[in-house]
Structures are given as structure tokens and as C-alpha cells.
Amino acid sequence: MSQGFTSQMARNIFYGGTTFFVLLFAALIFHTETKIPERSKASEMTEAVVRGKHLWETRNCIGCHTLLGEGAYFAPELGNVYERRGPEFIKAWIQSMPSGAPGRRQMPQFHLTDAQLDDLVEFLRWTNGINAEKWPPNIEG
């Protein structure tokens, strides 16, 4: 070992380290892929949830609200709104917009039908059941 650090040693360290981390990365991907269906509650996704998600996307709700930490921080987090407020409150809140309260930014009126409100609430119920590792960090979002 009196030669010091040779190029052969450096090459072996590079290839060994690269192989180790590629295998570690593959194992993490495999582990994540096996846990996603369980954590996301994908088996509980119904047609109403799909229609509610479509409403969420077409009305650009994520342009103001966050959902499980993703989206804009202009309006409240809605990942746990079903647990916080319940379905009847959510429907009444959406129908009453804009409320006209002074000094408060208003949510637009989307003129949703009762069936659309039910679908949107069902989507929010489903997102409430996703295992988001304790996100949001407090009950008020």
C-alpha cells in the first residue's frame, strides 16, 4: 500500500459505490411501489370520487387551495376538511359563496348541482382517508 491511491482503486470504488446505490435506489422504488396502493386507498375509489376529482380539476380548486400539501397557499388546506367540517358544512359553504363578508377574499360561485356537490364531497372524503403521514400537521390545515 506504499503506492498510495491508484487509478485502479478509484475505479473500483466508483463502480462499487455506483452498484450499491443503484441497488439501494431500486429497492426503495420497489418498496414505495408496493406501499402506494395501501396508503392511497385506491381500492376505495368510486365513480363519485372520480367525478369529484374531475370537478376539482376543471374548477381549478388547486389554484387557490392546497390538497395534501400540493397547490396554492391562497386558501385553506382541504386534505382534512371532511374530518374538520363534515359533508353538510362543505356543501353549504360552497353554495353560499361569495358570502359578501367585508375584508375577506371570496371563493367564486360555481353553481354546482346537488349531484356535483355530492361528488366533490365524496372526493374530499376519499382524500381525507389517504395516509399522508400526519399531513396536514394540525387539524385546521
pLDDT tens-place values along the chain, 141 residues long: 457 889 999 999 999 999 999 999 999 999 999 988 888 888 889 999 999 999 999 999 999 999 988 999 888 899 999 999 999 999 999 998 887 778 777 889 999 999 999 999 999 999 998 888 888 887 776
Closest among 92, 121, 90, 94 to 106, alpha carbons compared = 94
CA-to-CA distance for 123 and 138, rounded, in angstroms? Answer: 21
* Omega of the bond leading into 87 within 30 degrees of 0 (cis): no
CA-to-CA distance for 58 and 2, rounded, in angstroms? Answer: 69
Partner residues linked to 66 by β-bridges? 71, 77
Q: Which CATH class is domain 41-141?
A: mainly alpha
Q: How many CB atoms lie within 10 A of CB 132?
A: 16
What are the sequence ranges of the domains in the chain?
Answer: 1-40, 41-141
Strand residues in 86-139 grouped as ranges (E): none
